[in-house]
Amino acid sequence: MLEVVRIPVLSDNYVWLIHDDASGETVAIDPAVADPVLEAAAARGWTIDQIWNTHWHGDHVGGNAGIKAAAQAWGGCTITGPAAEADKIGTLDRTVGEGDQVRIGAHVARVMAVPAHTAGHVAYHLAGEKMIFVGDTLFAMGCGRLFEGTPAQMFSNMARLAALPGDTTVYCAHEYSLSNGRFALTVEPDNKVLAERVAQVEEARARGEATVPTSIAQERDTNIFMRARDVAQLAERRAAKDAA
């Protein structure tokens, strides 16, 4: 079994640590900064052996160099990220794309190309463990802004992710659930499941609690971008959310 730890950093980012007790390996996903991630690992007696980046934005790769420097004390840290964005992530040791594999101990993650938020964005899917790390592609009740891609690409991403088993746990990189949910209700005001979820999120956030990870099943029921019937509807909803 893998242990996953959520580390809140900056204003609304989450860095994820994955630890495999059998091998002793630990992976950091999208470390925005180094020190809180190193501290969280050290508090558990772990050392960070790998970093997996989903895309090039600074709030996902900003901690790479600091973690790699610290890792010299325990034998190093291998940094993996999207080949299509290698020119923007100077700390990469390995580049990957669609269909490639990365490993933590005996556990295998398949790389999925999910361009739209950025041109080379990838996700890491551990099918055997029913986990996927999606960066800024899919959020609870939302999706990433289309900074470098198209509505058609994001629509394709949503369809691919929706096709995963419903009990797949989705680890996204930001705490956006409240704003996403409130906007989603303006689009689907009669969606009772969505309304119940937003109420739960409001209560959780009032208590200062995190609202992710989520699941594919939850997103099928409540994510207006995953539920868009076609590219045009997704584009309309994304533009409206951007302007909200």
The two three-digit tokens of residue 185, written as one number: 């209700």
**Of the residues 19, 60, 107, 121, which is catalytic?**
60
State yes or no: is 59 an active-site residue. yes
Q: Which of 19, 57, 121, 125 is catalytic?
A: 57
**Of 19, 100, 174, 221, which one is the catalytic site residue?**
174
The string of DSSP letters for 16-85 reads EEEEETTTTEEEEES-S-SHHHHHHHHHTT----EEE-SS--HHHHTTHHHHHHHHGGGT--EEEEEGGG
**For this structure, is 19 an active site residue?**
no
Helix (H, G, I), strand (E, B) or coil at 132: strand
Q: Which of 59, 100, 107, 121 is catalytic?
A: 59
Q: Catalytic residue, from 19, 55, 107, 125: name it.
A: 55
Distance CA 100, CA 120 (A): 14
Catalytic one of 20, 49, 100, 136: 136
Is 213 exposed, middle or buried, given 0-12, 13-18 or 19+ CB atoms closer than 10 A?
buried
Catalytic entry in 20, 100, 107, 117: 117
107 labelled catalytic: no
| Active-site residue flag, 125 | no
Q: Which residues belong to the active site?
A: 55, 57, 59-60, 117, 136, 174
